Amino acid sequence: GGPSPSGAAEREFGPNEAKLRRQIDTLNEALQRAEEDKARMQREVNEMAQRLGVGGGADGRRRGFFEEKPQPLQVLLSSGDDAPDFVKELKLEVRGTRELRDKLYAAESALDDAKRKLEVDARKELEYERSIVTSLRQELEEKERLLADVAFDPPRARAPAF
């Protein structure tokens, strides 16, 4: 065989420059493959968007799904029946979320009311129990005094001692 192209490059530029040229060539090839892959993927996305009915400009021609500038959510929501399906699903999801928030708020309010009622009822019951304990303690002390008086037996204490 004849001299290789890299051998000619080494004689012309030197070994380091030839190595850098080979790296540049390899990177250029990788870049070209990546651009081809990107174009292929963009075509696939456009085909999918066309099948799903997404995309399309005001002038009637179809554009790529990701080529359009994203519209603000408020604009998409205000487009009504012309809105894309995913926006309609978002509306339903937001409504469902709002209903869940309302239910959660109602449940939390009921829980707070029940806690307050329980605290008030528990406080009343505790005060009632304390009053019963106090009155029972007073009765017990009174009966213990009577019992002590009976045990002392005053008539026998008055009798003369032998």
- pTM for this prediction: 0.30
Task: Write out pLDDT tens, residues 67-93.
Answer: 555 555 555 555 566 666 766 677 667
At 125 the pLDDT is 92
Output the pLDDT for position 26: 93
Q: What percent of the chain shows pLDDT beyond 70?
A: 62
* Integer Cα distance of 46 and 158 in angstroms: 121
Q: What is the DSSP string of the chain?
A: ----HHHHHHHHH-HHHHHHHHHHHHHHHHHHHHHHHHHHHHHHHHHHHHHHT----TTS----TTTSPPPPHHHHHHTGGGS-HHHHHHHHHHHHHHHHHHHHHHHHHHHHHHHHHHHHHHHHHHHHHHHHHHHHHHHHHHHHHHHHHHHH-HHHHHSPP-
The b-or-e profile of 101-111 (16+ CB within 10 A means b, else e) is eeeeeeeeeee
Q: Mean pLDDT score of the chain, rounded to an integer? A: 77
For the segment 95-145, what is each residue's pLDDT rounded down to a tens digit? Answer: 767 788 888 999 999 999 999 999 999 999 999 999 999 999 999 999 999
Share of the chain above pLDDT 90, in %: 36
Rounded distance, CA 10 to CA 8, Å? 5
